[in-house]
Amino acid sequence: MLGYCGTGYNGMQTQPDPKLKTIEDVLFKAFAEAGAISEENSTDLKKNSFMRAARTDKGVHAAGNVVSLKLIIEDPDIISKINAALPEQIRVWGIERVNRSFDCRKMCSSRIYEYLLPTHSLLPPRPHSSLFHLIAKSKKEHPGVLREDNDQQWWESTRQRMLDSGITEDELKLVFEKSESALEDNIKMDHVNENGDLTEYGKLVRRVRATENACRSEFRVSSEKLNLFREAMNQYVGSHDFHNFTLGKNYKDPSSRRYMKSTSVSEPFIIEGSEWISIKIHGQSFMLHQIRKMICMASLVVRTGCPITRISDCFGPVKINIPKAPALGLLLECPVYESYNVKLEELGYNPIDFSRYEKEMNEFKMKYIYDKIYAEEDKQKVFQGFFEFLDKFDSSGAKSGGKHIFDFLGAAFNSGLNNLEDTNSASPAKAVDNVD
């Protein structure tokens, strides 16, 4: 049982290219250095029957994950020796004996993931952006379907704050309207000169962004909007066809049907002046990018005033291009072995239970995962940049079949579902691949 910060690693699983650093490579090397793996088996994972419970993506963290393999654990200090050979951002919490047939991936009953999201991600689309015009047009054509958003006033008050700081209307037009026109026409707006110094335009952009960033940090989500987001996340609970929430899957592909046991959204909390929420998703198994697409879709329906039930429409046959939210906020909380723990105890083994390491895991999450997420967002503005990119996305590649790529967020949408799916159906046979 282990935890890790995924920053700087190309995911959990060993890659064919030895230049790509992975969690498994570093972990396996530490096992060998600590004497937990024999010298003759130290160069081949397969010789040790190595398997991981969850194959996390590049940059994705885990407070708890499980690997199963043959280890030499007679040394009572073996865990300390392994941790001494590991970097501080990878920790082994404990080692448990299991029966010979145990496979940590196949025997896993379910998995819990956490996603941290700054609440300003739920602000409505930027005024005059492509997505803003799409929603405005849809409201005009189909009145009464899309919700009105009181947070639209936030954009007005932020603009006024810029004006109060001494920035003129013409300068704001230069930064927003002209820069967006330049983006559409593929015209470069230089922020720096040939010497690497900020141009007057670059200085103006910096002033505008500084004011907007301060306003975003001060944004506080309303209880009404937070409950809308909770309702959106609850649309995922049950057994559904998640073909639109991954890559390379078609409608009714048996492998795209997944069972979500529960979702929860915390009360907002303040970190370094900015407001965040913690989202937890407990599911039987997950596909590539599934969680990040689930988070993005829930955010989009809240941001645009789209009916919350549009998420359920995504389980239908119509193919939808749902972006994936940044990897930055995602971490694996832990795999769960409810069913297999019963068998382990019957055989005289300890259950695989992370609750015994809760204190250490929480301290590790705060220092090596949460703080890194908050710091990177503060420095890079990952979430702000992501949703701003979606708002502005209106190039030739943004349209498919004559429609805007985000047309599914409008008032009129035909899912093709026709009530074919029973969202309250029993849990399906467990899919064993888990890759997010």
Read off the pLDDT of residues 195-238 as tens digits, 9 standing for 90 and up: 778 888 889 999 999 999 999 999 999 999 999 999 999 999 99
The dihedrals phi and psi of 316, each to the nearest 5 degrees, come to -85, -175
Cβ atoms of 259 and 427 within 8 Å: the answer is yes
Mean pLDDT, rounded, of the chain: 89
Q: Which residues contact 211 (CB under 8 A, 6 or more apart)?
A: 158, 161, 162, 165, 167
Q: What are phi and psi of 29, to 5 degrees?
A: -65, -40
Global pTM?
0.87
Pairing relation of β-strands 403-404 and 330-336?
Answer: unpaired
- Catalytic residue at 57? yes
The pLDDT score that the predictor gives to residue 428 is 47
- At 284, the amino acid letter reads Q
Q: Are 307 and 277 in contact (CB under 8 A)?
A: no
Q: What is the pLDDT of residue 91?
A: 98
Quote the tokens at residue 170: 């013409």
Distance between CA atoms of residues 61 and 12, nearest Å: 9
Contact call for residues 45 and 26 (beta carbons, < 8 A): no
The predicted-structure confidence for 124-158, as pLDDT tens digits, reads as follows 999 999 999 999 999 999 999 999 999 999 999 99
Q: Are 276 and 268 in contact (CB under 8 A)?
A: yes
Paired tokens of 104: 């940590």
161 or 199, higher pLDDT: 161
- Residue 171 or residue 39, greater confidence: 171
Q: Give the separation between CA 394 and CA 406, rounded to whole angstroms.
A: 10
pLDDT of res. 133 = 93
Task: Give CA–CA dist 92/325, Å, rounded.
Answer: 29
Phi first, then psi: give them for residue 340, nearest 5 degrees. Answer: -75, -25
Distance, in Å, from the CA atom of 283 to the CA atom of 243, rounded to the nearest integer, reads 16
Q: Tens of pLDDT along 232-289?
A: 999 999 999 999 999 999 999 999 999 999 999 999 999 989 999 999 999 999 999 9
Tell me which of 21 and 44 has the higher pLDDT. Answer: 21
CATH 3.30.70.580, the chain: domain bounds: 2-107
pLDDT of residue 324: 96
Whether the Cβ atoms of residue 94 and residue 82 lie closer than 8 Å to each other: no
Judged against a pLDDT cut of 70, whether residue 186 lies above it is answered with no
- Contact indicator for 179, 191 with CB cutoff of 8 Å: no
CATH code for 2-107?
3.30.70.580
Residues 6+ apart with CB under 8 A from 247: 288, 289
Whats the size of the chain, residue-wise?
436
Sign of CA dihedral 430, 92, 292, 11: negative
Q: Which of 104-108, 389-393, 422-426 has the lowest mean pLDDT?
A: 422-426
- Residues with Cβ within 8 Å of residue 268, at least 6 apart in sequence: 119, 220, 221, 226, 275, 276, 277
Helix (H, G, I), strand (E, B) or coil at 239: strand
The closest of 76, 69, 61 to 37, measured between CA atoms, is 69
Overall average pLDDT of the 24-37 stretch: 94
Architecture of domain 116-128+131-148+222-392: 2-Layer Sandwich (3.30)
Question: Any known ligand binding at 340?
Answer: no
Contacts of 63 (CB under 8 A, 6+ apart): 3, 114, 331, 332, 333, 334, 361, 364, 365, 369
Please give the residue that has the higher pLDDT: either 360 or 18: 360
- pLDDT higher for 196 or 162? 162
Stretch(es) of the chain classified as CATH 3.30.70.660: 116-128+131-148+222-392
* Cα distances (Å, whole numbers) of residue 88 to 3, 73, 155, 252: 10, 21, 42, 44
* H/E element, 66: none
DSSP state of 142: S
Q: How confident is the model at residue 429 (pLDDT cuts 50, 70, 90)?
A: very low
Tell me, what amino acid is at 90? I
pLDDT of res. 294: 98
**How far does CA 115 lie from the centroid of its chain?**
6
359-394 residue pLDDT tens: 999 999 999 999 999 999 999 999 999 999 999 887
Q: Which of 44, 57, 75, 197 is the catalytic position?
A: 57
